[in-house]
Structure 1
Amino acid sequence: MYIPTLDDMLAAHERIKPYVHRTPVLTSSFLNELTGADLFFKCENFQKAAAFKVRGASNAVFGLTEEQAKHGVATHSSGNHALSLSYAAGQRGIPCHVVMPHTAPQAKKDAVIGYGGMITECEPSTSSRETVFAEVQERTGADFVHPYNDPRVIAGQGTCSRELLEQVRDLDAVIAPIGGGGMISGTCLTLSNLAPGVKIYAAEPEQADDAARSFRAGHIIADDAPVTVADGLKVPLKELTWHFVSNHVTDILTASEQEIIDAMRLIWARMKIVMEPSSAVPLATILKNRDVFAGKRVGVIVTGGNVDLDKLPWMNS
């Protein structure tokens, strides 16, 4: 297992610059007052493909040799990695094969197709996803770019925190959502090297809390098919992301479904930005654990903005 290094992250940042945005950092005096903390929202919902995952996907795609790239790339993903890899592959002019659960938001399926990706559907479980993917890869010979358990992807995701450190001085903590752990691993990679005093928190839905339970148990506990409004956070940790989580994360905090929906609505209403439920989990956990963050300067990574506007979660809550 190759563990990506600081040099890998720095090389990734140079490699992907032509294909990604340097996203803005926004603040809200209302949310600062509400939480008692100074919050700095790193808005990856404004990223290409509306998600941070385009960083890791672009690093993987543009790091391939011509020989490696000739059969294209393939992955399995519930959405944002799928559309990000489709975007990056389209930029390079190579095919992209994606296995997606049939329950994935239509907005994300449409984006994959719009970027030229080819979708094969599977059941909404990790086991089905991996079985169907093995068939697709066998058929196509494409290079597998795992959504998160891939050193190229983690190095790419680490570029987000590098920008945040350049944009905001003297952070006390950074918090990001955790599913499979690609973003949090990239955050750990960058901060442990460039700002080792900054605490790293991960935020997770109570109904998909396998990372939190893994963290407390000291080994990976994987759920096969959790049900949560935060559709981007349903996948389990893998060996590479577990390495970063177990060595560098300060704590993993959880929020209920209603707390996630309330936080998402609050940000839409107060900051006027579109973020998906997975991106609202960090604010939900900050509101729930005010004592942990009060008086601190906290970077909050808003991971994506791919929302099905016909199915907003508060319509049924």
Structure 2
Amino acid sequence: MQRTRLDLDRIRAARKVIDPVFLDSPLYRCEALEPLLGCAVNIKLETANPVRSFKGRGTEVVASQLAGSDSRAVVCASAGNLGQALAWSSRDRGLDVTVVASRFATATKLDRIRALGAKLELVDGDHELARERAAAIAQYDGIRLLEDSLDLETCEGAATIGLELVPRIDPSSRPAVLIALGGGALATGVGYVLKTLAPAVEVICVQPLGAPALTHSWHQRRVVTTDATNTIADGVAGRIPIPEVLDDLLLVADDAVLVQEASIITGLRMLLDHAGLVVEPSAALGIAAVLEDRDRFAGRQVFTIVCGSNVDLDKYRGWVSL
């Protein structure tokens, strides 16, 4: 494999500074889903932790570095999960955290950011406007800007998930790992580890049809932006891919696919009914991908990373009751 920005030694070192509460998350074969999907479905559950998403792995690395530095203030833009994770990782380390988010973000996520002690600033726009505002704050105040997926700590923290997947992969079973694609930290991090240590795995990124920028960029091998997004999967609803992330993704992903909203909703219902899991739409993207292309995955060992469960319950009830 050609060289990416990531490094296996740094990823292994990250495990030593990440709070064990985020490590070795449940990984199990969900036999109840197999008759419905036609493949051996393995769930990597990244919601059984204090911030209910995989983001804590990366923010633990960032916060541990900041705690030992002269600068103890940090700002980030977040759709909700990164902000919660950064606030949680910083709270006991005495760091000053500002999170910029869209005022249209999931209220549950925003409330949790406040409850964890971070300063929350809301913007009248989408996540890309929040990114611009966070960068302006960092420059004006002279503090650390944490950019999800661009900053290697977020990618290499997420990559520790890959270290936990590798021992369970059966190369003879035509294995595939389905990874939700948003900013790209999860996909590039996990994908790098898999391609380095388990090259037989097919790494497939999954994005909503209503937020396709990074998928289009992967297929066209250049940054493709969109003017708007339209998806219930708010955690992956970016419009402007980061060039460095795309460069990495082109080296570690075997494919990038788009799925329809109806499939995401069906995936949410299936995870509830057959796995007992209440998750956010981004976490159902892997199941949605299998639903839309059953023949591709028939009889294979399939892993899906259930990446978050911070969901607006009123909206969730509406989705799963349809």
- TM-score tier by shorter-chain length is over 0.9
Equivalent residues of 1:107, 1:308 under 8 A apart: yes
CA root-mean-square deviation: 2.0
Unaligned runs of 5+ in 2: none
Correspondence for 1:26 among 25, 28, 32: 28
Equivalences, count: 316
In structure 1, distance between residues paired with 2:213 and 2:244: 16
The equivalent residue for 2:313 is 309
Q: TM-score, normalised by structure 1?
A: 0.93
Instruction: Return the TM-score normalized by structure 2.
Output: 0.92
Q: Distance in 1 between matches of 2:168 and 2:16?
A: 17
Structure 1 gaps of 5+ residues are none
Name the residue aligned to 2:255: 251
| Greater CA drift, 112-121 or 235-244 | 235-244
Q: Offset at 1:74? A: 1.0
Q: CA deviation at 1:151?
A: 0.9
**Percent identity (aligned):** 27
How far is the alpha carbon of 1:150 from its aligned partner? Answer: 1.0
Cα separation, 2, equivalents of 1:298 and 1:68: 45
Task: Give the aligned partner of residue 261 of structure 1.
Answer: 265
Aligned to 1:195: 198
Q: For residue 79 of structure 1, what is the amino acid of its counterpart? A: G
Contact kept, 8 Å, 1:61 with 1:73, in 2: the verdict is no
**Selected match of 1:12 from 14, 18, 27:** 14
Q: Which residue of 2 aligns with 1:91?
A: 92
Mapping 1:1-317, distance limit 5 Å: 3-18=5-20, 20-64=22-66, 66-70=68-72, 72-170=73-171, 172-235=175-238, 236-312=240-316, 313-314=318-319, 317=322
Instruction: After superposing the two structures, state which structure 1 stretch, 218-227 or 36-45, moved more.
Output: 218-227
Q: Deviations over 1:9-60 (max 9, x none)?
A: 1111111144524210133223112221111100001133000011111111
Could you tell me how far 1:68 is from its partner in structure 2? 4.2
Q: Report if aligned partners of 2:5, 2:152 keep a CA contact under 8 Å in 1.
A: yes
Provide the C-alpha distance between the structure 2 equivalents of 1:201 and 1:243, rounded to a whole number of angstroms.
16
The answer (yes or no) to whether the contact 1:36–1:295 under 8 Å persists in 2 is yes
Q: After TM superposition, give the deviation of residue 126 of structure 1 in Å.
A: 4.4
SS in 1 for 2:51: helix
C-alpha contact 2:21 2:49 (8 A) present in aligned 1? no
Shift of the 123–227 alpha-carbon distance from structure 1 to 2, 3 Å rule, reads farther
Instruction: Give the secondary-structure state (helix, strand or coil) at the position aligned to 1:148.
Output: coil
Q: Report the Cα distance in structure 1 between the residues aligned to 2:314 and 2:70, rounded to whole angstroms.
A: 40
* Aligned mates of 1:55, 1:4 — CA distance in 2: 15
Aligned pair in 2 of structure 1 residues 315, 4: CA closer, same or farther (>3 Å)?
closer
- Give SS of 1:46's match: coil
* Structure 1: 4+ residue segments shifted above 6 A: none
Give the 3-state SS of the residue equivalent to 2:9 in structure 1: helix
